[in-house]
Structure 1
Amino acid sequence: MTQIIKPSPAETAILQVLWERQSCSVKTIHEELSRTKSVGYTTTLKQVQRMHDKGLVSRSPGEGKSYNYRAMVSEAATKSRLFDRFVNTAFEGSVPDLVMHALGTDKASPGDIEKIREFLDSLDIDQKTDSAI
């Protein structure tokens, strides 16, 4: 049986870079991460090496003695697993509680709420179409 690896927050940040820039060096990954957080190059290098050992990334020869890395896990599947873990841990599996919490914060703008309404309306239309068939 294949073990499903749930990446840590640090691993997820590295995967995000790789999903956006498939096949890049540790230097490129580190430069991207450094835009938003303070992290040492050797820390990034060690984390990528551990991810390679876990099978989260693959590597191929790069420029000089370096390697280029590529994500070996899909973005959609990984985000789905992380979301499920978050909902189960923080909201005891309740998606309605998650949504109400998110909408109850100051972070949801009127534009965000309108997009959510449009999305929910599209779900209603899809369900009505499915039940009519």
Structure 2
Amino acid sequence: MQKSKAVPTTTELNLLNILWKIQPASVKRVHEKLTETQSVGYTTVLKMLQIMHDKGLVVRDESQRAHLYKAYDSEVHTQNSIIKDLLHKAFSGSKYNLVVRALGDGASKEEINGIRKLLDNLEQKQS
């Protein structure tokens, strides 16, 4: 089975974030979780999940009366796709420019230490 090529919209990503936590889930369950943070109609959630299914972002189990949905790709795979898309669209493929812009507003001491460790590990792998 091929991985989805679609990069999700912000709304689709909101639904995927819910599915990654509770999947597989019915439209009703996704709607309940979504309405904890925003006002949206049941039919809107249903339509969005149908569109996402057509785009290959979610899979649907139709074996039960209430169809169950789950994300097609993992959270990490989807995040990587979004980053690659952003990297090419906004930063001409430059990871350096992406990191500089991301850290332009600063980072906590813990984040800096984590980034430093990551960079040290990447450097060791290249040696």
TM-score category of the 2 structures, normalised to the smaller one: 0.7 to 0.9
1:62: Cα distance to partner? Answer: 7.5
Q: Percent identity?
A: 42
1:41: Cα distance to partner? Answer: 2.2
Q: Distance in 2 between matches of 1:103 and 1:117?
A: 13
Written as runs of structure 1 = structure 2, the 5 A alignment for 1:21-60 is: 21-60=22-61
CA contact (8 A) 1:25 1:62 kept: no
**Which structure is larger by alpha-carbon Rg, 1 or 2?**
1
- Opposite residue 83 of structure 2, the aligned amino acid is F
Q: 2:115 — aligned with what?
A: 116
- Opposite residue 86 of structure 1, the aligned amino acid is L
Q: Distance in 2 between matches of 1:90 and 1:55?
A: 25
- Give the RMSD, CA atoms, in angstroms: 2.3
Q: 1:73 — aligned with what?
A: 73
CA contact (8 A) 1:30 1:44 kept: yes
Q: Distance in 1 between matches of 2:110 and 2:83?
A: 23
Q: 1:101 — aligned with what?
A: 101
Higher relative contact order, structure no. (Cα contacts within 8 Å, ≥ 6 residues apart): 2
- Opposite residue 101 of structure 1, the aligned amino acid is R
Deviations 1:46-90 (A, max 9, x none): 101112223322222487x42211222333332222111111222
Q: Distance in 1 between matches of 2:13 and 2:26?
A: 16
Q: Distance in 2 between matches of 1:90 and 1:30?
A: 33
Long gaps (5+) in structure 1: 129-133
1:13: Cα distance to partner? Answer: 1.9
Q: Distance in 2 between matches of 1:97 and 1:39?
A: 37
Q: Distance in 1 between matches of 2:66 and 2:100?
A: 47
- Opposite residue 74 of structure 1, the aligned amino acid is S
- Opposite residue 125 of structure 2, the aligned amino acid is D
Q: Distance in 1 between matches of 2:69 and 2:30?
A: 9
Q: Distance in 2 between matches of 1:32 and 1:62?
A: 23
Q: Distance in 1 between matches of 2:46 and 2:9?
A: 16
